[in-house]
Amino acid sequence: MSILIGSHVSISKGLIGAAETAHSYNANTFMIYTGAPQNTRRKPLEDMKIEEGKEFMKEHDIRDIVVHAPYIINLASVKDDIYELAQSFLKEEIRRTEVIGSNYIVVHPGSYTVKDTDYGIDKIAEGLNNVLTNDTKPYICLETMAGKGSEVGKTFEELRRIIDKVELKDKIGICFDTCHTHDSGYDIINNFDGIMEEFDNVIGLDRLKVFHINGSLNIRGSRKDRHANIGADTTNKRGLDQIGFESLYNIVHSDICDNKPLILETPWIDKKTNLYKEEIAMLRGI
């Protein structure tokens, strides 16, 4: 079995800086935002030391990196200006993802606010149909969501309904987030194999491209989306992990995760301290 595991890393020092940080964590993959996730300001690609980063990754066997689209992309928005921005900016993020050399861009489906789920699903699919072309290279990986507020994507069925309305279905993948699925009500602690069977029946395992491996501060079904450090106990400043190390370890070592990018988005303990290196080692079983 090949465990491909890493974390979110900063790209502030370019792709080479991101790759070097990932390597310092003993990671063999990683995830980046191509700029700040809260806004549209982006550094020109020619300033991001992409070729240096690719060469470093090749030398250190780092591969299948993941790009995360910014939070400001809301394909379910009821506001025309936000909806148009979501489409145009997603197009640009896809272009940047291709140049960086990633095959996966993770996208939060969107939130419909004052409308309903049917409206949200229709708008998301419409937006994807406007964005995707036959030349689109990376998979658009819709993320499983916790169900906070009016988020679309809290169930496999909602994600399936989006996919059914997308014309270029072969461009769509899924990013399975352990915190989100736990918080939305799926029992990944006691029945991960059963959940995967359900996923296969509803969506199809062939669409499962990326995992976000996160603990949760919440009990199952809380719909809150608050990440915890892997297996954290009550001494952890960020709080107790309600999923637990054993469950997350078993998920990482399951056949379904073989050779798929597994990305940690766990909390930093403070502004200068994160546990990524330790958590990666724990999950590898080192």
Are β-strands 208-213 and 172-177 bridged in parallel, bridged antiparallel, or unpaired? parallel
Q: Is 182 flagged in the annotation as binding?
A: no
Task: Name the helix (H) or strand (E) containing 37.
Answer: none
CA-closest candidate to residue 175, choices 124, 105, 91: 105
Q: Is 98 flagged in the annotation as binding?
A: no
d(CA 250, CA 30): 20
Q: Is 8 flagged in the annotation as binding?
A: no
CA dihedral 42, 68, 267, 272 (to 10 degrees): -30
- Terminal C-alpha separation, the chain: 15
Q: Is 177 flagged in the annotation as binding?
A: yes
Q: Which two tokens stand for residue 208?
A: 């499962």
Q: Is 253 flagged in the annotation as binding?
A: no
Alpha helices (runs of H) in 30-79, residue ranges in sequence order: 50-59
Q: Is 225 flagged in the annotation as binding?
A: yes
Where is the binding site, in residues?
A: 68, 108, 143, 177, 180, 212, 225, 227, 265
Where is the binding site for Zn(2+), in residues?
A: 68, 108, 143, 177, 180, 212, 225, 227, 265
